[in-house]
Structure 1
Amino acid sequence: MTDKKLRIGLGVITHRRPDGLLRLLDSFGQMKVPENVECTVLLAENDDAPVMETHLDKLRAAIPFEVHFSVEERRGIPFARNRVLDMALEADVDFLTFADDDQVVDHYWLVMLLATMQLRELDLVGGPNYFQRDPEAALSWQSNLVFEHYERAMRQLSSRRASRIQIDSEAEIPIYTNNWMLRISKQRELKTRFDETYRISGGSDTKFYLDFSTAGAVTGWAADARTFEVWPESRLKFRYLFRRSRDQRATNLLRAQDAPTLPWALLSFLSSSFSALGLLLRSPFNDFRSLTSAISRVGGAVGRIRAARGIRSQLYRPSK
């Protein structure tokens, strides 16, 4: 008699990115599936005017797995994540993964996530997300600088997180849905869900990790389970780098209830601006690499001021 197969739901939320979604599904189709595992794609379109259903035949043809499709008309990332979570519960899968519709997964991504989950008896596991150039885009000087900034930052972050495994502090690593696997039986027990008050600010996945671990779940890190985010040139701009740094800092401080007082935030802004000026003046001597660090530093300082004033990020506000 054969052992019962483990069932894994490959969760994806999407919003008006049919090409990116097809690229992600194609990487699902090419990845190695662990032995004795059966995969199902759980796809939720987040749109009040859904269009993805017309692409379903093409999407299903791209992969060897069954595709379950649903529409979440309430605009906001946590609504769509909870819709996928409900699909996983209804389908009675053993594990649920998440990856974004602007990513591709490594050939051994699923193998590494599952092996880490089982070997260390985890309830939630994440892995590193690296950046990848759009092969069809010829990047400008500005876009190349911003891309290299994010690439350096992610390599450094991934290295620090991998080292936490060696000192037995991997539970402190936040788990994001760009590379994520959940043990469904533990979620059924704890009933943790994505906080829908984070509709436009972002950060509902970090809040899920914090709520889940605080409730008693065991979390960890799979350093070799890699995803790759393909960034369009529209995001590789100084303005976007500033806004992202600003909004991420504000969201993190407000979520942790660690917002500074306004006078302290203003002092921090002056200090960061002085530091950023030094980086700016050095930039001609290091191929302008420190220019992007200066922009990011000022953005983070402005984020502290916004947190002190209680201003939430609107980075994911639905467009008019």
Structure 2
Amino acid sequence: MSKTQPADVKPLMAIGICTRDRHELLHRCLISLKNTTLPKRYRTELIIVENAETLSIESIIEELDLTMPVHLAAEPKIGYSSVRNRVLDMADEMGADILLGVDDDEEVCENWVIAYEAASELLPDCDVMMGPTNLRYANGDEPSSIVQSAGHWIERTQPLKRAFGQRPYVPATMNYALRKAVFSKQSGLGLRFDERFNKIGSEDTAFFFILENLYGGKLGWVPEARAFEDRLGKRDTLKFISERNARNQAAYFSIVLAHQKTQKTLPVALSEIRQTTLKHAFYAFYHFIAAALYALDQPQRAKKLFGTSVCHFKCLGAVTAAFKWRQL
């Protein structure tokens, strides 16, 4: 498809979704997209890439009868980066000016698209815009309505609040919008996800780390562009959360090591890793001691303090994993 459009054709805002073996969740995600208000200044088209040898989601698309054109593709190389890069390639080939993205296990609010449409005008200097992903727990989806279960070992949280236009606290691809200046290979940086992170994840952390530190890219927060994700079952357990935190920390350390030139020197990169590791050690022991002190009088509080301690202890092994992953 040509990347140049006639003057009377609206610019393209593409919406990209990556999916693999999660048909029910994808169905829910697409229903939420079907119910969103579409922008006036852009035409919208949907890109869905299934990380598989062949497509198995055509029936879902046909059943929903979506209100926007849909482009399907199968990406046979299994991995987070490979499937995300296929979405970027397709958006680039289609001549998209903006690419919106959301994970297949999320649902978006009714004004999700138009919130990004407005932000694209109000935040002209932002190369990337991101919105919050509110977590829906078994007993409520907002902080004021969350009822902590008696056996819960870790504090249930929501995304940290940020003002419109502020840098996102943790840049990620759960809920985002990229300008073509980031992903276009003809008129932009042509930035792609590092395939060394295909199996370990945190490819989005590496992507935004490079964009900010190597190219001076700017990121802005759009609080009205809300998405929702269920935090149920094993995803709401201490084991899952602590292991994920440790994996993310190790991935970040490996990013710092792999791109040490953006940190000026290797000693500077190692210093950052050392300081972060020491912080984890301090908070691990701090929360462990606090848990012991509250164990008799406030057992539920002690449980959550102990869970926080476990998360920090798990992160202490991130250095070893980071040096191992660096060899990938």
TM-score by length of 2: 0.78
Instruction: Tell me by how many angstroms 1:114 deviates.
Output: 2.1
Tell me the residue number matched to 2:291: 279
Tell me the residue number matched to 1:149: 155
Tell me the residue number matched to 2:108: 105
Instruction: Tell me by how many angstroms 1:207 deviates.
Output: 1.6
Flag the 1:132–1:283 CA change in 2: closer, same or farther, 3 A: farther
Instruction: Tell me by how many angstroms 1:43 deviates.
Output: 0.3
Find the partner of 2:99 among 92, 96, 99.
Answer: 96
Asked if structure 2 preserves the Cα contact closer than 8 Å seen for 1:10 and 1:41, the reply is yes
Percent of aligned pairs sharing the same letter = 23
Name the SS for the 1:190 alignment partner: coil
Instruction: Tell me by how many angstroms 1:271 deviates.
Output: 6.0
Hey, which of these two has a bigger chunk of helix by percent?
1
Tell me the residue number matched to 1:33: 38
Map Cα deviations across residues 38-93 of structure 1 (whole Å, 9 max, x no partner): 211100111346532443422x42x2111111111111111110011111011111
Alignment of 1:64-79 (within 5 A): 64-79=67-82
Alignment partner of 1:6 is 2:11: yes
Map Cα deviations across residues 275-309 of structure 1 (whole Å, 9 max, x no partner): 22423653675672552453243223332333145
Letter in 1 for 2:201: G
Any stretches of 5+ residues in structure 2 without a counterpart? Answer: 1-5, 140-146, 258-268
Tell me the residue number matched to 2:261: none
Map Cα deviations across residues 103-157 of structure 1 (whole Å, 9 max, x no partner): 111111111122112212122111111101469xxxx9869836x834x2x24x2
Tell me the residue number matched to 1:295: 307
Letter in 2 for 1:110: V
Alignment partner of 1:176 is 2:172: yes
Alignment partner of 1:16 is 2:15: no
**d(CA) in 2 for partners of 1:104, 1:302:** 31
Name the SS for the 2:322 alignment partner: coil
Alignment partner of 1:230 is 2:236: no
Tell me the residue number matched to 1:207: 206
Letter in 2 for 1:55: I
Tell me the residue number matched to 1:162: 163
Output the aligned Cα RMSD. 3.4
- Aligned residues, how many? 297
Asked if structure 2 preserves the Cα contact closer than 8 Å seen for 1:117 and 1:123, the reply is no
Instruction: Tell me by how many angstroms 1:230 deviates.
Output: 1.8
**d(CA) in 2 for partners of 1:143, 1:238:** 14
Instruction: Tell me by how many angstroms 1:184 deviates.
Output: 1.3
Tell me the residue number matched to 2:142: none
Flag the 1:92–1:235 CA change in 2: closer, same or farther, 3 A: same
TM-score by length of 1: 0.79
Name the SS for the 1:101 alignment partner: coil
Tell me the residue number matched to 2:255: 255
Name the SS for the 1:80 alignment partner: helix
Alignment partner of 1:123 is 2:124: no
Instruction: Tell me by how many angstroms 1:270 deviates.
Output: 7.2
Any stretches of 5+ residues in structure 1 without a counterpart? Answer: 314-320
Name the SS for the 1:162 alignment partner: coil
